[in-house]
Amino acid sequence: MGAVGGQEAVRLTVNQLPAHTHDLHACTQIGTTGNAAEAHIAAINTDDLSPPRQRFLFGAYPAAANLTHLNEGSLETYGLAAPAPHDNMQPFSVIDFYICMSGAYPPRG
């Protein structure tokens, strides 16, 4: 009773993360509408930004047959070199019991 167990914070490692993917849908042409038919992300040239640069249009996802897998070697992960620990404490409440072994507690006036 009264023993301490577990850890308040834990740093996750790559081995603790399930294998998963993140899809990025894009096209190679410059987009001209806000609903690019064959891509989710399309670039558009604009000169109303300073300095002029590309903005991106977001549209519908392409059909599964149109997807292309990227080379995993060309992508890199972020934040794994020194990940911050996350809070690992489950919801809890603390109750203290005060038991009087002799006499009256609390003392009455």
Contact assessment for residue 39 and residue 28, using Cβ atoms and an 8 Å cutoff:
no
Q: Quick: pLDDT tens for 13-38.
A: 778 878 877 776 666 665 555 555 55
Domain ranges in the chain?
A: 8-74+85-109
What letter represents residue 59's amino acid? G
Strand 53-58 to 86-87 pairing: unpaired
The whole model's pTM is what?
0.30
Which residues share a beta bridge with 57? 42
Q: Quick: pLDDT tens for 57-73.
A: 555 555 666 666 666 66
What is the spatial distance between Cα 106 and Cα 109, in angstroms, rounded to a whole number? 9
- Main-chain phi, psi angles of 10, to 5 degrees: -135, 140
